[in-house]
Structure 1
Amino acid sequence: MTSPRLEPGTLAPAFTLPDQNGDAVALRELRGGKVILFFYPEAMTPGCTLEACDFRDSLEPFRAAGYTILGVSRDEPEKLRTFRERDGLTYDLLSDPDHKVHARYGVWGDKLNYGKVVQGVTRSTFVLDEKNRVQHALYNIKATGHVGRLRTLLDV
C-alpha cells in the first residue's frame, strides 16, 4: 500500500534525521529559508549518483535563489558519508532507514519494478517555502534531466 501524497499548499511533515555525519537535521530549523528535499532509492547506484551529481553541479544557482538542498534515502549515515565523499557532494544527505519520513511524504509503498509490484521508494522531490509549506510535490520523477527541469520550474 502506498502512503498518501502531499499536495501543494500543505505543511510539510516535520522530521529530524541524522545526516552523513550522524548530526541531527530538523526541518523546523530550516524555516525562514526555502528547501529542496529529494528522496532517492539508494546511494551509489547509477541513477541516484546521476541525480545527486546534477544537484551538486547546480548547487550555486539554487543557493543564490535561497534554497537548501537535502537528499534523503534509507541508507545509513556511514554509506551516505562515503557517497558524499566519493562524488564530491556539497550538501547534506539524510538517513531514514526505517522509511518513516518516506511514508509521511508519500514516497514509500507499492510500485512497479520491471512489471512486478514491490515495496520501495518512489524517486520524488519537494520544494518547500520559507514556512515549510509544499510549493511543488514532484512524484515518480526520472533521475535524468530532473534537476534541469526543476531549475526551469523555479527559474534558477
Structure 2
Amino acid sequence: MKNVNNILSNISDFIQKNPMFVFFLVLLYFLRSWFRKLFPDKSEERLPEGQKDFEVEQQDVSGATLTRAQATTKAEHLFQAMDGIGGTDEQLIYNTLRGLSNADYNMIYNAFGVRYYNSYFGEKPLLSWFGSLLDLNAWIVNELSVKELQELKRINPELPF
C-alpha cells in the first residue's frame, strides 16, 4: 500500500510540475484518436457520408407479432431514449422492451440497424468519423449500467443480453 501511495504521489508531483507536457500528451492522444477515425484502416468498414443507418445481419423474426412499422417506431423510440445530451431515458427503454418475444425484439433489432455511437459522450456523433458503428444490443449495453441491464432482463427475460 505504501508503494502505491508513493507512486501516486510521484505521478501527482510530475503533473503539477509539468502541466503543459501532460496537456500536450492528452491532446496528442485525442488527435491520434480523431485522425484514426478520420482516416480509418482500409480493412475497417465505413459508411458513405450522409448515410445514417446500415443493415445488420438480419435476425430470425418468425413468429413476430409486430408489424414492420411498429418495429421501426420502437427502434426509433429506443434511439431517442439513448441519444441526446440529457442522458439515457431508462424508463422509455424498459417500457419499449417490456413483454416482447424474442422474435419481436429481433424485428426491432433489424429495424434499428447499425448506427454511429460516440463512446465519449454516449450518443450519436455529429460527424460519422467521431463514432463507431454499433447495433442495438451494443447501444443498450453501452448506455445502461450493469444494475439497469439486470432490471431490463428482469422485466423481459427474452432479451439477448
Give the TM-score normalised by the residue count of structure 2.
Answer: 0.27
Structure with more strand by fraction: 1
By relative contact order (CA 8 Å, sep 6+), the higher-ranking structure is: 1
Q: Whose helix fraction is larger, Structure 1's or Structure 2's?
A: 2
Using structure 1 for the length normalisation, give the TM-score: 0.28
Who wins on radius of gyration, i.e. which is larger? 2
